[in-house]
Amino acid sequence: MLPEIVTFWHGPMDALRRTCLRSQLAAGHKVTVYSFDPLPGLPDGIGNAEAEAVLPHAFAEKLRPPEPDGSWRDWTILQFSDFFRMKLMAQRAGVWLDADVLLLKPVEIDPAKPYFAWERSRQLGNSVLYLPPHDPIVRAFEDLMEQEELTPDWLALRHRLTFLMRQLRRRSNRLADIRIAIYGPAALTALARREGRLQHALPKRSYYAVHAEPKLFFEPSDYAQFLNDPAIIGLHISPKGRGKEAPIKGSLYAWAAEKFGS
């Protein structure tokens, strides 16, 4: 059996993400999106589960105070999702895929082993993630979530120094303010290195072939190279603000929208 694919979403969902979710369903997986509110326009066949039961909405206040109207500030959604995916791992919920991962073939895992890939030469990505529930990486995040200040014991020296300077200048006492991805790929990489898990990492091309260059997805190109490459399982898009754009003829996005629907 293929593993269930799980993810988290907060707010309106654009056509790009709906296309990607359909591609995950088309690969043969059960797909569930966790959210705090109903998601209008969620593609047929995609499940919608209650996020509060996994990680309470109030946890976001540890990251930064909400706006006066209660909405989340800045990059709170991104950091909240970094913790949310670890809670899903602890609950054996399935394989995490970001909602902007276009899946080209099924994801196959060994439930006893971690599953992730290199995003850059020295950094793992957490857009595609599976960890056994008792993995030390999961336990490290569970321990961290018990803290009020959310300061990891794996924090790099340069980040510790940055945080110290911000405290001395009275700019912030929250580690979450120093860097958007402080609990994301950098944290996963540091913990995987510390716990001897790096040998499980897939090559960058398996999921991150277009990650750093969204033009390869959104603009006309010879995209057959990605579709015919047996090493590529899926494509993390990283739209960088282009998620609401209409597909351009001759682009990989146009191909995906036609194949999976937009």
- CATH no., domain 5-260: 3.90.550
Residue 133 half-sphere exposure toward CB, CA atoms < 13 A:
6
Residue written as tokens 């290195």?
193
Tell me what pLDDT residue 168 has: 74
Residue 68 pLDDT: 87
Helices (H) and strands (E) in the chain, counts: 9, 8
The amino acid occupying position 69 is D
- pLDDT attached to residue 104: 98
Per-residue confidence in pLDDT tens, the chain, 262 aa: 899 999 999 999 999 999 999 999 999 999 999 999 999 999 999 999 999 999 999 999 999 888 888 889 888 999 999 999 999 999 999 999 999 999 999 999 999 999 999 999 999 999 999 999 999 999 999 999 999 889 898 988 777 787 777 777 766 677 778 777 889 999 999 999 999 999 999 999 999 999 989 999 999 999 999 999 999 999 999 888 888 889 999 999 999 999 998 6
> Which amino acid makes up residue 31?
V
CB 128, CB 207: distance < 8 Å: yes
Can you give the pLDDT at residue 171?
66
Contact 232, 209 (CB under 8 A): yes
